[in-house]
Amino acid sequence: MTLKNTPLNLIFLLVLVLLIELWALKAQSICRPKYGCDLALASYYVADDDEEATNLTHISHLFSLQIPQILKFNPNLQKNPNSPNDSIPVPPRTRVRVPFTCDCLNEDFLGHTFAYTARHGDTYRRIAQRFFANLTTEDWVGRMNLLVPTDLPDGVRINVTVNCSCGDGHVSRDYGLFLTYPIRNGEGLAEVAAENGVPAEVIRRYNVESNFSAGLVYVPAKGL
């Protein structure tokens, strides 16, 4: 041991301390709030050519919900009092609000993973774009599954993760419920604002990273 070595040891020690702190920081949940929130909504767009989502049965299966749970958030979908729940028609080009819990996943981000049972010919792209109406992407589904995407076995359970938001205290405390809203071709901030009856400026502040021409945005929603 010479004096010359001491500074090196010191540097080594400092680097070690720094690494441990970084590791501790990473291990902490970075979700805000830490455990997510009990309720978020997904905006499920029923396309013109969607033959399955013509009533709520298909949507309730995809999201593992009972039909009355969906109806609660969609007063516009009217039920004929004499007919069974599964015959509630969903007109094409309608956005259905689907409730779900917004969890902190991998201690890293807010989302919810739905189990989708693959059928012959399914691909991640089809699952994301068609069955889950762009509430997720091919890439994001691919990252949550350990399967070979070109060869999905029939009947296998696929993780389909939909991102969500519980708000942001730095932006406003007035909103606590958020809609995960996939922007459709041709929509922009003005259309999203009009569709949801929320001022454009409010939506913009919650989605500073979005260019409002594609992808997901989070729109403040009213409760029940």
Q: Which residues bind ligand NAG (CB under 6 A)?
A: 45, 47, 52, 54-55, 57-58, 66-68, 85-87, 109, 129, 133-134, 136-137, 140, 144-147, 158-159, 163, 184-185, 211, 213-216
Q: Least separation, in Å, of the C-beta of 24 and ligand NAG?
A: 21
The span from the CA of 22 to the CA of 135, in Å, is: 33
Q: Which is nearer to ligand NAG, 104 or 158 (CB)?
A: 158
Q: Least separation, in Å, of the C-beta of 31 and ligand NAG?
A: 10
The span from the CA of 212 to the CA of 214, in Å, is: 6
Q: Which is nearer to ligand NAG, 85 or 205 (CB)?
A: 85
Q: Which is nearer to ligand NAG, 146 or 208 (CB)?
A: 146
Burial of residue 151 (CB within 10 Å: 0-12, 13-18, 19+) is: exposed
The CB-nearest residue to ligand NAG is 215
Q: Which is nearer to ligand NAG, 6 or 68 (CB)?
A: 68
Q: Least separation, in Å, of the C-beta of 16 and ligand NAG?
A: 30
- Of 112, 143, 109, the closest CA to residue 42 belongs to 112
Q: Least separation, in Å, of the C-beta of 177 and ligand NAG?
A: 19
The span from the CA of 128 to the CA of 161, in Å, is: 9
Q: Least separation, in Å, of the C-beta of 25 and ligand NAG?
A: 17
Q: Which is nearer to ligand NAG, 11 or 31 (CB)?
A: 31
Integer distance in angstroms from the first to the last C-alpha of the chain?
A: 72
Q: Least separation, in Å, of the C-beta of 53 and ligand NAG?
A: 7
DSSP-assigned letters across all residues of 110-174? EEEEEEEE--TT--HHHIIIIITTTSS-HHHHHHT--S-TT-PPTTPEEEEEEE----BTTTBSS
Strands across the sheet containing 94-105? 157-163, 109-117, 94-105, 37-46, 178-182, 216-220
Q: Which is nearer to ligand NAG, 4 or 30 (CB)?
A: 30
